[in-house]
Structure 1
Amino acid sequence: MTLWATLQARKRLINAFKHANIYRMAGESYIFPTIRKVELTDDYTKFTLRLPTGFDPDTLTDNLFVFQQVFGPNVVIDGEIKYFTITVYRKGLPSKVAYNFDEWQSVMTDKTLPIIVGRDRNNQPQAFDLAIFPHILTSGETGSGKSSLLRAVLTSLMLTKSPDDVRFILGDLKRSEFGIYRNVKHVEGVHVTPRTLLPALRLIKVEMERRGNLLDKNEVTHIKELRDKLPYIIVAIDEVALLRQEREIMNIVEDISSIGRSLGVLLILSMQRPDSKVLEGRLKNNLTVRISGRQSNKRNASVAGAEGAEKIKITDKGRMIFVLDEPIEIQSPWLEYDEAKRLLEPLKVKTEFEFPFEEKDDVGLTEAITDFKFGILEELQ
């Protein structure tokens, strides 16, 4: 870009500072935030700023609307304390990203447990490796696109990895999301009540103890270092807030969040409105990845760990704040229920127990898990 274009961009930013009253006066001179760098590309203009000492860091974000009035609606402000970036994108996020499994292959093939998230403002696919960044919290109001994202995440994992790579325990407490995964060969059980979920999690607890002993015996720090391969285990629970009174279940979930990474036991938790009574202590601190659709207010967005989610419009279905290293706004993939069902059909198997663990009490548990492949049957007998 030309020097002239850079100077014009700086001039517009200074104009925005004036409209937002982001300056001090020294006599008749204005003191603005220092513009340290201006980066112009075909996709965006990015300003790197340093606030003078004493400026309120919230001054920039609180005046986002002013920058949008000057530069257009596609403005993102990032940073903290003194150093910030203001990025003006040429294009906005797409209003919808249709799910196409083949299109995500390029960002999934190099990851142990690929989690697809969506497309960013540059239309680039965003994904991360759950084996490296463990434990996810997804949240968002009804209609925000959270359910479709969960569907895309789980379906993609099952299509990409074999049952020898990853197994699933699914908690579907609203009885609305995970039914399509019943009898998929990766899935140990789909549980719709705490009564059936608890025995499954007790088994997970035993398996974590077994894996911990294996790590100690072999003097290694992660299951990937063991000679004999063990599958990763993903515990995914939709509307986990419904378990707030289930103390034993929540204790096991917290234990997974604390020690599960090295043992290959990982969490994907979901809730509509973040509940601070559920997200407390160890669990809150150990959910390292946050993905949130629209939240009704700033407090809920803060509890969700996705500041800015309260600014998502109610009409922006699938718009999410994705927080891994720093928050970015993405458009999540839209996967229809029937399409997910079609994709999963080749993975279905007939089993003796249509609903694993269900209708079984603790006494009959061993007989109900003849296909439970975590290697713990000998521990139970």
Structure 2
Amino acid sequence: MSNQRKRRRKPGRASTRSQQSYRSENYALRDEIICIVLLFVMILLLLCNFGFCGKVGDLLSHVMFGLFGILAYIVPVLLAFATFFYISNAGSRNTDLVVMKIVAGVVLCLQFGIFTDLLMGRLNDASLATLAERYESSAAIRGGGGAIAGGIGAFLYRYLSDTGTILLVIVLGIICIVILTERSFIEGLRRGTMAVYSKAEADTAEYLSHRKERREQRQKREEGASRKRTSLPRARKYAVGMTSDTDLKQAAEEEPEQPDRLTEPVLPVLRQQADEINDIHEITIHGSFSPDEKEQAPTFISFEKDRENNRLATGNASVVSPQTEKKAREEDIKEEETKEEKEAVENDRSFTEEGSSLHESLSPRVEHRKPLAKPKAALEPTDQNRGEYIFPPITLLKAPNRNRGGDSRIHLKETAQRLEKILHTFGVNAKVTDVSQGPTVTRYELQPEIGVKVSKILNLSDDIKLNLAATDIRIEAPIPGKVAVGIEVPNKENITVTLRELLESQAYQTSTAALTFAVGKDIAGETIVTDLAKMPHLLIAGSTGSGKSVCINTMILSLLYKSRPEDVKLIMIDPKVVELNVYNSIPHLLIPVVTDPKKAAAALGWAVAEMTRRYKKFADAEVRDLSGYNKFVELHQGEEGYEKLPQIVLIVDELADLMMVSKNEVETAICRLAQLARAAGIHLIIATQRPSVDVITGLIKANMPSRIAFAVSSGTDSRTILDMNGAEKLLGKGDMLFFPQSYSKPIRVQGAFVSDKEIQDITDFLKKQETNSYQEDVQEAIATMEGIAGIGTAGMETNEEAPDRDEYFEDAGRFIIGKEKASIGNLQRIFKIGFNRAARIMDQLCEAGVVGEEEGTKPRKILMTMDQFEDYLLNGPAKESAS
């Protein structure tokens, strides 16, 4: 029975569901029909208002303008929109809110009509006393508020006057807007008030803290001045009206009553000058200015600040023993007291004889105060501090020119406008949103319209270059992190970037890393500073004259200005002999500059051995890297066998020459160091002017994550360095693409220029310290490795049996000469060997001179006859060549 009931219920439920779906479909169809009808009515009424529907249309238009006035133009649209809004939300839970919003919209329209009549002066018009008169008047002028809004407005005006009517309209308008937008008006006012209050409170706190800081600085200056005056001897006090007849015995009694002419007026003058100084420091200057303008000292500074400034001017961190410093301070105090006594007597003499004002006699002495310490003292190491490293003074580097060039703002604006016109001519609509001027190039940021393909802009590179008459342009599409395309155009007037302004930048000064070096300035003029330890190895490539060697000198000088010899050691390999030879005998060098390619391979081998030795020490100390080991050594000071290890930077100026002499040894050592040496504190900087795949091999490239590309001749070379095009568009003379491993795309940087004279001055200063002592054990180890490599090479050249020659060498040579065709495939098939072995035999035959070099798809040439080959096997290459 139960099964039969269930079976009977199933058809009923199915019919109910079908009826519900049928009703929902009917409702949807009905709503769609209503929407279409309303759309038709809206269009019809709009056309009637403009007189396009004949007599019936004129009648409807007369009714619309009579009832609604000027709102007749938008009433059809509002009616249709309200109906659509209601139908779309009819089945939701917010039906009441929908109705309330529609009512609020109607009320808002009526208020607009009332306000219109109020402005036109129709509310108090006696000729419009009745609704019929208002109806006819609105229909006739096709404006006003209409009969509905005008009637309501006239009623309100009769009892509330114009002020009350306006106030009521405004209040009801705010309420309607709150209902329509669902935003609280009071909450908005509260947030705005809180924002204004918070901003005022923050500004007040900042002003009070700044005023307090100024007051403290002023007090410190006054205390410093008072301490100096009290420390001076009795000769600094002078009596007024003293002559040769005055009794000196009475002068001692009268002296306390005499006014201190030097003490009384000085404090007001110093206060006034301190206020002027503080006012100047409050001005924030935006833009670039020279370092000389940045470092202008205040007018009046204390003795300790004088000593500190002189120490910074002669060296970044000069190391002086405590005894020397104490002795120098005492001598400076005596010298300052003597100078101030003389100056005080001269000022007083000029005051009494010439009658000049006290301010005029004191101001020159305060403003033109000479430094207390002589700058040359730190340049010449004394016997007491000899052996301690003194950083080279920044004054050895050339200061940047204040009146440096650069394109004017007018020129940049004109170029931006021309760029927009050029793109518009080729059917690309884009606007220049930002312009960033760098030292050598200016980047114009373009924001294309929606639908414009980036590839279309890239394809217009040559056309843009032609129309701008530029030497070359580079397009970066898109700019990382921006919805824009960057077009880099060379400047008409370039700005030289000096190394001094990079080293004086805040980014370099605040960096605490020992391997900090200044790269240059980016396209926005910002200083780019990086840490070599985080890179951790750097590959530099570019054609001759592109600025590669200057970049290496910049890096070396950056390390010399930042790190001490006990913290960082350098190994320089210079096959070109003349590039890095100037750095010989500086304290940071571990061994003299290596110029022999064979010795360079041995130096790389020593670095691999040193890396292995350090990892063994790390394992014994149970640490993971160099910093952890040095901390471990600090905890075990005084124990034998533990000493701090410096970081080692290995610089190779020309890799191509090393790869030609000993490719296998050099490539293996570089790959091992690049893979493992980071944690051991050994870092590589490798440069080459031939960025081809036989020099920058796949193994070297895969293990050198950070790269710098200078100007190259082709896109192939650019892809070899950066895995992308772009370096072929560079301008040379230090223009580079800097691509560290932490960047997703390379950035364009202008490297700093450093002259040979600046390098010579800095190295001469460092060599005078006599702190350099090459490590003899390292030199002996490298010489031993070089001797072993030389013996092995000589043995390979003189051994006639050639133990590394393949056993099929002779048979393969006879087979190739007999067939007169050199093919690796034939060797595989005849001797039943693999491809690698057959290719190795072919290379051996090429080295022996049996066959020629590989020429692409062409077959190798046969260079020997059978008799010559047999003679080669019997007598060896030397005798055969002699014959």
Question: TM-score per shorter chain, which class?
Answer: 0.7 to 0.9
How far is the alpha carbon of 1:89 from its aligned partner? 7.1
Q: TM-score, normalised by structure 2?
A: 0.35
How far is the alpha carbon of 1:200 from its aligned partner? 2.2
Greater gyration radius? 2
Alpha-carbon RMSD? 3.8
For residues 154-183 of structure 1, give each alpha carbon's deviation from its aligned partner in whole angstroms, at most 9, with x where no partner exists: 122122111122111111001121101111
What is the aligned counterpart of 2:680 among 263, 266, 276? 263
Q: Conserved in 1, the CA contact under 8 Å of 2:420 and 2:432? A: no
Q: What is the correspondence of 1:56-205 to structure 2 with a 5 Å cutoff?
A: 59-67=456-464, 76-79=475-478, 85-87=484-486, 92=491, 94-100=494-500, 103-109=503-509, 110=511, 111-189=513-591, 190-205=593-608
What is the aligned counterpart of 2:625 among 209, 218, 222? 222
> Which deviates more from structure 2 when the two are superposed, residues 167-176 or residues 213-222?
213-222
CA distance in 2, matches of 1:327, 1:112: 24
Please state whether the residue corresponding to 1:191 is helix, strand or coil. coil
The change in CA–CA distance for 1:330 and 1:362 in structure 2 (over 3 A counts) is same
Provide the residue aligned with 1:234 in structure 2.
649
Amino acid at match of 1:98: T
Structure 1 gap ranges (5+): 1-9, 23-31, 366-381
Please state whether the residue corresponding to 1:290 is helix, strand or coil. strand
Amino acid at match of 2:762: L
What is the aligned counterpart of 2:710 among 270, 293, 297? 293
Q: Conserved in 2, the CA contact under 8 Å of 1:291 and 1:323? A: yes
Q: Conserved in 1, the CA contact under 8 Å of 2:550 and 2:754? A: yes
CA distance in 2, matches of 1:250, 1:50: 50
Amino acid at match of 2:606: L
Provide the residue aligned with 2:343 in structure 1.
none
> Which deviates more from structure 2 when the two are superposed, residues 344-353 or residues 133-142?
344-353
Provide the residue aligned with 1:309 in structure 2.
727
The change in CA–CA distance for 1:21 and 1:243 in structure 2 (over 3 A counts) is farther
CA distance in 1, matches of 2:497, 2:785: 47
CA distance in 1, matches of 2:611, 2:573: 19
Q: What is the correspondence of 1:306-345 to structure 2 with a 5 Å cutoff?
A: 307-313=725-731, 316-324=732-740, 325=743, 326-345=745-764
The change in CA–CA distance for 1:211 and 1:286 in structure 2 (over 3 A counts) is same
The change in CA–CA distance for 1:90 and 1:281 in structure 2 (over 3 A counts) is closer
CA distance in 2, matches of 1:340, 1:296: 29
Please state whether the residue corresponding to 2:687 is helix, strand or coil. strand
> Which deviates more from structure 2 when the two are superposed, residues 138-147 or residues 215-224?
215-224
Q: Conserved in 2, the CA contact under 8 Å of 1:138 and 1:269? A: yes
CA distance in 2, matches of 1:188, 1:41: 47
Amino acid at match of 2:667: M
Matched length: 340
For residues 32-51 of structure 1, give each alpha carbon's deviation from its aligned partner in whole angstroms, at most 9, with x where no partner exists: 8xx8x985478675346799
The change in CA–CA distance for 1:45 and 1:292 in structure 2 (over 3 A counts) is closer
Please state whether the residue corresponding to 2:445 is helix, strand or coil. strand
Provide the residue aligned with 2:611 in structure 1.
208
For residues 174-211 of structure 1, give each alpha carbon's deviation from its aligned partner in whole angstroms, at most 9, with x where no partner exists: 11211011111111121001222233222211211122
The change in CA–CA distance for 1:68 and 1:90 in structure 2 (over 3 A counts) is closer
Amino acid at match of 1:301: S
CA distance in 1, matches of 2:474, 2:657: 37
Q: Conserved in 2, the CA contact under 8 Å of 1:257 and 1:282? A: no
The change in CA–CA distance for 1:59 and 1:265 in structure 2 (over 3 A counts) is farther
How far is the alpha carbon of 1:215 from its aligned partner? 3.2
Q: Percent same amino acid among aligned pairs? A: 24
How far is the alpha carbon of 1:353 from its aligned partner? 9.1
The change in CA–CA distance for 1:14 and 1:361 in structure 2 (over 3 A counts) is closer
CA distance in 1, matches of 2:555, 2:780: 25
Structure scoring higher RCO (CA < 8 A, sep ≥ 6) equals 1
For residues 220-261 of structure 1, give each alpha carbon's deviation from its aligned partner in whole angstroms, at most 9, with x where no partner exists: 432122223421111100111112141112211111111121
How far is the alpha carbon of 1:119 from its aligned partner? 1.3
For residues 132-174 of structure 1, give each alpha carbon's deviation from its aligned partner in whole angstroms, at most 9, with x where no partner exists: 1111111222221211111111122122111122111111001
More strand by share: 1
Amino acid at match of 1:362: T
More helix by share: 2
For residues 90-124 of structure 1, give each alpha carbon's deviation from its aligned partner in whole angstroms, at most 9, with x where no partner exists: 99483422332674452224133112211122221
Structure 2 gap ranges (5+): 1-415, 438-442, 634-643, 788-883
The change in CA–CA distance for 1:86 and 1:174 in structure 2 (over 3 A counts) is same
Provide the residue aligned with 2:364 in structure 1.
none
CA distance in 1, matches of 2:737, 2:652: 20
Provide the residue aligned with 1:362 in structure 2.
784
Q: Conserved in 2, the CA contact under 8 Å of 1:319 and 1:329? A: yes
For residues 313-360 of structure 1, give each alpha carbon's deviation from its aligned partner in whole angstroms, at most 9, with x where no partner exists: 4xx422222222222222211111221111122322465899x84998
CA distance in 1, matches of 2:567, 2:676: 20
Q: Conserved in 2, the CA contact under 8 Å of 1:258 and 1:283? A: no
For residues 266-310 of structure 1, give each alpha carbon's deviation from its aligned partner in whole angstroms, at most 9, with x where no partner exists: 110111120211222331022222222211111112112163221
> Which deviates more from structure 2 when the two are superposed, residues 332-341 or residues 12-21?
12-21
